Amino acid sequence: MAVADRTRKAVVPSGVERTMAEDELIVSKTDTRGIMTYVNDVFLRVSAYPESEVLGQPHNMIRHPDMPRCVFKLLWDTIKSGQEIFAYVVNLAADGAHYWVFAHVTPSFDTTGRVVAEVPRGWDRQVRDSGWDPRALGLPSGHEAGFAVADRLTAWQDLTAEVNGVLVGLSGHGDLTAAVNALTHPGCHYDGARAYTGAVWHGRVRTWDGCPGGGSVTEAALAPADGSAQTRMYVQMRQTGRASATDRILASVRISS
């Protein structure tokens, strides 16, 4: 019986340089810990790894031993402060070849500088990072930190359209549960409410499925799991088909001070 080998062997540099065409772009995305969540086809070809061995792994798996550690410290310090950085980086492919990239690293999701969430691959094609207006919940209008990512933001309000995306908003309006309970989505089937308890947040989740476009709408009113009163979070999700990514997304929501 074959047993999957989950340990990675150290790659020995062969000294062979791999180059790519001038118009080719290597794209990779990581979460806030540097775990790769997306890579494009050029990344896979040049690094000589199959996608299955890359996604979910730390980006340092292609780190070349010649790269000074301080470059990456600067890279992380810069993107954590919300800024972009450009750097020449040499990487190590699975077969020992090395390749140079002119890396342009930008933070995403942390778009307001305060709110972060991880969303499934492909949902983040469009980003609106200008905050949100709690009027959407029937609360006094205002401008709060928040962002929306979706594969089609323009169809966000249209329940006849197929959309995958997340809107995350901070709120200074105290407990949002009553406001979220009052929301309705005509044409969708109310699938009920449940408690959500995660390591960082707890709250209430309401799901509407069978919307005219075939998808679902999920709304959550969250408060910090440690009982501290000040922060409240509103999360609205649109998912095609079943609302299967809900808990994973709620667990990833973070705010920075």
Ligand X SMILES: Cc1cc2nc3c(=O)[nH]c(=O)nc-3n(C[C@H](O)[C@H](O)[C@H](O)COP(=O)(O)O)c2cc1C
Return all residues near 10 (Cβ < 8 A) that are at least 6 apart: none
- Of 59-67, 110-118, 156-164, 198-206: span binding ligand X (CB under 6 A): 59-67
**39, 67, 145, 211: which one binds ligand X (CB under 6 A):** 67
Contact (Cβ atoms closer than 8 angstroms) between residue 223 and residue 201: yes
Q: Pairing mode, if any, of strands 216-224 and 36-39?
A: unpaired
Pick the closest to residue 124 from 147, 161, 151, 163 (CA basis).
Answer: 151
- Of 72-80, 122-130, 176-184, 236-244: span binding ligand X (CB under 6 A): 72-80
Pick the closest to residue 101 from 219, 22, 170 (CA basis).
Answer: 22
Other beta carbons within 10 angstroms of residue 112's beta carbon come to 21
Give the shortest CB-16-to-ligand X separation in angstroms.
18
**55, 105, 127, 139: which one binds ligand X (CB under 6 A):** 105
156 contributes a contact to ligand X by CB under 6 A: no
Taking the C-alpha atoms of residue 76 and residue 152, their distance in angstroms, rounded to an integer, is 30
- Of 56-64, 140-148, 201-209, 225-233: span binding ligand X (CB under 6 A): 56-64
Give the shortest CB-58-to-ligand X separation in angstroms.
6
Q: Provide, for the chain, the percentages of residues in helix, strand and coil under a 3-state DSSP scheme, each rounded to the nearest 5.
A: 20, 30, 50
**44, 55, 89, 139: which one binds ligand X (CB under 6 A):** 89
32 contributes a contact to ligand X by CB under 6 A: no
**11, 39, 59, 123: which one binds ligand X (CB under 6 A):** 59
Give the shortest CB-67-to-ligand X separation in angstroms.
6
Residue 255, classed as helix, strand or coil, is strand
Cβ proximity to ligand X, 75 vs 233, nearer residue? 75
Give the shortest CB-61-to-ligand X separation in angstroms.
8
Q: What is the DSSP string of 30-80?
A: E-TTSBEEEE-HHHHHHHT--GGGTTTSBGGGGB-TTS-HHHHHHHHHHHH
62 contributes a contact to ligand X by CB under 6 A: yes
Cβ proximity to ligand X, 76 vs 156, nearer residue? 76
Q: Which residues bind ligand X (CB under 6 A)?
A: 28, 30, 34, 59-60, 62-63, 67, 69, 72, 75-76, 89, 91, 101, 103, 105
